[in-house]
Amino acid sequence: MIDLNERTRRISGSRLADLFLARDIGSVVDPFMGMPNHLNYLKRHGIQVHGGDMVEWFVRAGEGIVVNDFTVLRDSEVAEIVEMLPGRIYPIDLFKGWDGVFFSEEQCAYLGVWHANVRNLRSDGQTGLAIVGLWHVLCYWLQKALAPDEMADVPPSELAWRYIRETERLVCTNNARNTVRRADFHATLGAQQADCVYFSPPGKNAAKKADARVWMWEAWWQGNPYLNIEQYYRDTIFGQRTSDDGSYDRAIESVLAATHDYPYVIVQTTAADAARFERLVAPHRASVETVAPYPEEVYVIGKN
């Protein structure tokens, strides 16, 4: 049985907006953005946002909810994603490797159909929105596999319809050019200029410990149920061994060194690690301030 421990970092766009408002920060770069809901919130509130990540579906999602200012998926377009189109041959065996392990045969077939339909969309914005919507379906199915009697049975296409349709409300504009890129932090930070760099640092050996739902969705997007996302990080600092404190600190320091041109750097961590990050940020910044609304939500803010 798959391990779904509900563990995730609390990345709150509204909290970041409060921090930015108090410091007159109008643009931000997040080089480890993950699922960019926080960037969507910030964009919706007028802040120019740039994100980067090594996992492609995060970037595709960003194209839907961060870069995309106008394009939505209308009812007829959603219908063409969630159901088999007549006359088309679908790779319904593409995810057969997951059959009986994580999903039922019907669910695997739908994953194949959706993969083909989403890949067939011509707009990056629409593709991103579809990926975001269908990701919720994947999470729902996996959760239901753990508690089959406690969650409602919803037909796959209906569930997908509902989740994709509601992404329409995430589309907005802030009259600024917002970007996402599939790149490591060096490339992302080097390509942008902004008032602030925000990041929630990857944990030690983060690639190995990635949430099942994250790597499975990347595997779905790439059409390879056996994909291992560790390979994405192989040539990056966080892909090398970062299980010991020394090498992990060096990895974080190299990120902080790349943020020198940005007036602010905000590192989100937890109370347990706050002292470590204060120590790491201090040599790179003239002043360091810590804002700690919760033990599991601490912001180390460095200013030039």
Q: Which of 2, 14, 22, 209 touches other proteins by CB under 8 A?
A: 14
- Provide the minimum distance between the beta carbon of 138 and other proteins in the complex, in angstroms, as a whole number: 11
Residue with smaller CB distance to other proteins, 151 or 272: 151
* b/e 149-176 (16+ beta carbons within 10 angstroms → b): eeeeeeebbebbbbbbbebeebbeeeee
Q: Is 43 in the site for other proteins (CB under 8 A)?
A: no
Q: Is 9 in the site for other proteins (CB under 8 A)?
A: yes
In three-state secondary structure terms, 245 is helix
Q: Is 245 in the site for other proteins (CB under 8 A)?
A: no
Q: Which of 2, 18, 191, 244 touches other proteins by CB under 8 A?
A: 18
On whether the CB atoms of residues 42 and 20 are closer than 8 A, the answer is: yes
Residue with smaller CB distance to other proteins, 41 or 238: 41
CA distances from 207 to 166, 173, 191, 210, 212 (A): 30, 33, 24, 5, 11
Could you tell me the end-to-end alpha-carbon distance of the chain, in angstroms, rounded to an integer?
49
Q: Which of 11, 19, 81, 298 touches other proteins by CB under 8 A?
A: 11
Q: β-pairing, 297-303 with 264-269?
A: antiparallel
Residue 151 per-residue DSSP state: S
Cα-flanking dihedrals φ and ψ of residue 211, to 5°?
-60, 140
- Provide the minimum distance between the beta carbon of 36 and other proteins in the complex, in angstroms, as a whole number: 10
Q: Which residue has the tokens 């347990």?
A: 272
Residue 99 per-residue DSSP state: B
How far is residue 125's CA from residue 121's CA, in Å, rounded to a whole number? Answer: 9
Q: Is 10 in the site for other proteins (CB under 8 A)?
A: yes
- Provide the minimum distance between the beta carbon of 113 and other proteins in the complex, in angstroms, as a whole number: 22
Q: Is 7 in the site for other proteins (CB under 8 A)?
A: yes
Residues in 110-169 at the binding interface with other proteins, rule: CB under 8 A: 136, 139-140, 143-144, 146-147, 150-152, 163, 166, 168-169
Q: Is 264 in the site for other proteins (CB under 8 A)?
A: no
Residue with smaller CB distance to other proteins, 155 or 293: 293
Q: Is 12 in the site for other proteins (CB under 8 A)?
A: yes
The contact set with other proteins (CB under 8 A) reads: 6-15, 17-18, 35, 37-38, 40-41, 44, 136, 139-140, 143-144, 146-147, 150-152, 163, 166, 168-169, 172, 293-294
